């Protein structure tokens, strides 16, 4: 602002230092300053009649900017910094969820719902006539979100991510009208994480795409994609310009429970200022659940937001606590999905893709067709037997079909997500269509592609695999893609295109090379088209931020066949530290009977995983690659149980006919208290809990000197 004759000062500033302002004080002060500064700007630039000196004006702007720096979520489309081209954030920082955001099991048939309720009765040992109340609500097809409030103020908003760690989108979520900045009412818990779904209505989705088309910008496939894309904008003003809604339906960490039922919590959310789904109902039987599902299915097309099913949750929270979780899903809830939509299209070609394990997977290339609001162009054809419709002995396969290029196919999206072939319309088959001949050579490296045989049955494996191993570019590249993927090292900016480029250049041949890329190839990378100083710096920052990694993610990232993220988590819990798992795996590879038995005793680990682990650690090239990688990263020990209990870190075996609780409930309780539950007894077992009829495991406990507890003694140990 240019120098002027100093008028009489009219500045009225709050003297409270910005660092001491509460969120409410900051909001009021920020709004007041915005109005005052805008008025000064108008008087200066439009009226040519400034009412404050430059120094006083600068003080106002300085305080305004300081408040915005400490409370960035206050920035809106009308913020002064937005009007002068403030740079958007470069990316999203990671937020670790205090309580994991887990997924739900799916039910696709009414029989699945009957079995779900039956499992709950068996687990809780309830009689058939004992009532169970369920909270039933439409399953919104949106983006899961966790909102953290401290003393009633919104402090963090994070996406689901991988369930353990999400992205911080706080500045963007604050632009949503249905997300309260402060909670209403009294007796708000000091810490509260409210979870729900961010969505866009169908009407707003159509309007947004019209604007996008007019601006020659990205056209979204469906409301869910548009909601996700809108929320993950680096510039909050873009999010603010998009009409997004939020339904609250769950919670994470909470310091004080305000209700003892699911339905009670939903009612309490409304009192706090949240929008909850008005279609949510309380049901008291399987029949009521199924009737509600049918009713919502009939109303589905008339709703102004997308849903893909109905979620059932046990209403009593104490029962939810007892039921606990299986891996990444709760026992007390299930998603009853709607039948998939179908469409008809033509198979133009079959393309063979090679995965990181060498598997040759046929992918059908389709005439583009809309299915359930999404344009589908590709569909997995699984393997050569599936395409032939018969196995090697000529026997018809229930899952397979005689599929030929040029055929007309009926396609559906399983669970409204994954495209799959439902049927082949034979009366539309062209006369020129011939049976598809599956390749016996790898299309990438030319190595022989073979079908392994099951040693037990003598039957060939359904998958044909490339024998090229590490000389096959496809396997190496796919392994690197998995390594950098979301559930593994989760390296921002290192996607498929980047990995393919770096591998082609010879810069990244194995995982360790990712962490030496900066010191070995930075200069060359800067010379590549599309890689400027900022993008290269961001990439290296993302890589360096992942030099510390959890044991479960690290184990999964190694790409051991049959070890997915859930199995990797079981191994991490079982061995706790990378060195312990590494040393045990080497012993397993050498056939050490004790090490094999110890691994076999871990929850969810069996012969298939043990054999795959042995095969991986027998390969010298794998061991050398692991050693090089271990020099570049620090593998963190598995997280210790948060609760300090008498059995935390102990290994427990349950045997015999338990009478006080079911086997599943006993296992769930032990794991919740930080114990490891094993299926067999060894000298490393701490406790064997024996009910009536305990046999060989009881004898093994006595042999190894393991402490044996009755059910009552176990309950006394864990506090009832």
The contacts of residue 523 (CB under 8 Å, 6+ apart) are: none
How far apart are alpha carbons 357 and 160 in whole angstroms?
Answer: 29
Bridging pattern class, strands 143-150 and 307-314: unpaired
- In whole angstroms, how large is the CA radius of gyration of the chain? 30
What is the Cα–Cα distance from 223 to 639, expressed in whole angstroms? 37
Task: State the distance between the two ends of the chain, measured CA to CA, in whole angstroms.
Answer: 72
DSSP assignment string, 581-633: HHHHHHHHHTT-HHHHHHHHTSTT--HHHHHHHHHHHH-HHHHHHHHHHHTT-
**Torsional sign, CA 44, 46, 49, 51:** negative
- Which of 8, 125, 139, 186 does the annotation list as catalytic? 139
In 339-429, where do the E strands start and end?
342-354, 360-371, 374-380, 408-414, 418-424
> Is residue 340 within 8 Å of residue 414, measured between CB atoms?
yes
Q: Which residues have a Cβ under 8 Å from the Cβ of 486 and sit 6 or more positions away?
A: 161, 162
Helical pair 607-618 and 578-589, crossing angle rounded to 10 deg: 90
Beta bridge partners of 153: 150, 182
Residue 75, CA atoms < 13 Å, CB-side half-sphere: 28
Catalytic, 139? Answer yes
C-alpha span between 304 and 301 (Å, rounded): 8
Collapsing DSSP states into helix, strand and coil, what is residue 325? strand
Element (H, E) at 236: helix 236-240
Q: Rounded CA gap, 154 and 194, in Å?
A: 10
* Backbone angles phi and psi of 487, in degrees to 5: -85, -5
**What is d(CA 686, CA 573) in angstroms, rounded to the nearest whole number?**
16
Rounded distance between C-alpha atoms, residue 92 and residue 492, angstroms:
9
What is the set of active-site residues?
A: 139
């Amino acid at each position: 602002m240019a120098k002027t004759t100093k008028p009489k000062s009219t500045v009225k500033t709050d003297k409270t230092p910005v660092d001491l302002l509460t969120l409410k004080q900051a909001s009021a002060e920020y709004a007041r300053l915005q109005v005052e500064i805008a008025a000064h700007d108008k008087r200066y630039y439009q009226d040519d009649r400034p009412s404050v000196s430059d120094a006083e004006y600068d003080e106002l702007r300085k305080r305004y900017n300081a408040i915005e720096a400490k409370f960035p979520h206050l920035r809106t489309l009308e913020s002064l910094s937005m009007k002068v081209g403030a740079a958007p954030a470069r990316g999203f920082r990671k937020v670790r969820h205090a309580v994991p955001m887990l997924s739900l099991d799916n039910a696709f048939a009414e029989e699945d719902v009957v079995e779900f309720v039956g499992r709950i009765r068996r687990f809780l040992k309830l009689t058939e006539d004992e009532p169970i109340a369920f909270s039933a609500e439409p399953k919104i097809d949106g983006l899961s979100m966790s909102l953290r409030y401290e003393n009633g103020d919104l402090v963090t908003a994070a996406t689901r991510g991988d369930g353990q760690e999400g992205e911080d989108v706080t500045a963007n979520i604050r632009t949503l009208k249905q997300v309260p900045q402060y909670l209403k009412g009294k007796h708000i818990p000091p810490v509260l994480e409210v979870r729900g779904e961010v969505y866009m209505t169908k009407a707003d989705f159509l309007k947004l795409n019209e604007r996008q088309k007019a601006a020659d910008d990205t056209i979204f496939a469906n409301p869910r994609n548009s909601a996700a894309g809108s929320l993950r904008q680096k510039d909050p003003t873009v999010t603010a310009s998009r009409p997004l809604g939020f339904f609250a339906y769950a919670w994470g960490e909470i310091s004080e429970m305000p209700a003892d039922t699911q339905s009670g919590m939903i009612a309490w959310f409304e009192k706090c200022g949240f929008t909850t789904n008005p279609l949510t109902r309380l049901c008291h039987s399987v029949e009521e659940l199924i009737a509600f599902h049918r009713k919502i299915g009939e109303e589905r097309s008339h709703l102004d937001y997308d849903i893909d099913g109905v979620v059932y949750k046990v209403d009593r929270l104490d029962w939810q606590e007892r039921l606990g979780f299986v891996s990444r899903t709760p026992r007390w809830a299930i998603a009853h999905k709607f039948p998939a939509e179908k469409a008809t299209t033509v198979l133009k070609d079959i393309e063979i893709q090679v995965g990181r394990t060498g598997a040759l997977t046929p992918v059908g290339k389709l005439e583009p067709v809309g299915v359930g609001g999404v344009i589908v162009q590709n569909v997995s054809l699984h393997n050569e037997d599936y395409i032939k419709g018969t196995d090697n002995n000529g026997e018809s396969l229930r899952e397979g079909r005689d599929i030929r290029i040029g055929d007309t196919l009926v396609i559906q999206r399983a669970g409204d997500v994954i495209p799959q072939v439902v049927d082949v319309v034979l009366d539309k088959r062209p006369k020129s269509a011939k049976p598809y001949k599956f390749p016996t050579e790898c299309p990438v490296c030319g190595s022989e592609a073979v079908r392994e045989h099951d040693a037990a049955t003598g039957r060939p494996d359904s998958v044909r695999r490339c024998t090229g191993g590490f000389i096959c570019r496809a396997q190496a590249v796919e392994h690197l893609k998995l390594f950098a993927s979301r559930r593994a090292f989760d390296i921002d900016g290192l996607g498929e295109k980047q990995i393919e480029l770096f591998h082609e250049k010879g810069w990244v041949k194995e995982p360790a090379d990712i962490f030496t890329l900066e010191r070995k190839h930075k200069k060359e990378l800067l010379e590549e088209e599309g890689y400027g100083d900022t993008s290269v710096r961001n990439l290296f920052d993302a890589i360096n931020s992942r030099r510390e990694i959890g044991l479960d993610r690290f184990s999964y990232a190694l790409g051991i066949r049959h070890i997915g993220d859930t199995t990797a988590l079981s191994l991490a819990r079982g061995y706790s530290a990378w060195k312990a798992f590494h040393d045990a795996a080497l012993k397993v590879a050498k056939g050490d009977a004790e090490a094999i038995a110890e691994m076999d005793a871990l929850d969810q680990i069996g012969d298939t995983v043990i054999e795959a682990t042995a095969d991986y650690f027998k390969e010298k090239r794998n061991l050398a690659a692991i050693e090089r990688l271990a020099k570049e990263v620090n593998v963190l020990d598995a997280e210790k149980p948060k609760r300090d209990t008498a059995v935390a870190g102990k290994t427990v075996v349950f045997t015999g006919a338990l009478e006080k609780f079911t086997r599943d409930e006993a296992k769930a309780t032990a794991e919740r208290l930080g114990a490891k539950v094993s299926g067999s007894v060894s000298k490393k077992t701490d406790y064997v809990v024996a009910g009536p009829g305990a046999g060989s495991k009881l004898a093994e406990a006595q042999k190894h000197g393991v402490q044996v507890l009755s059910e009552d003694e176990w309950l006394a140990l864990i506090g009832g």
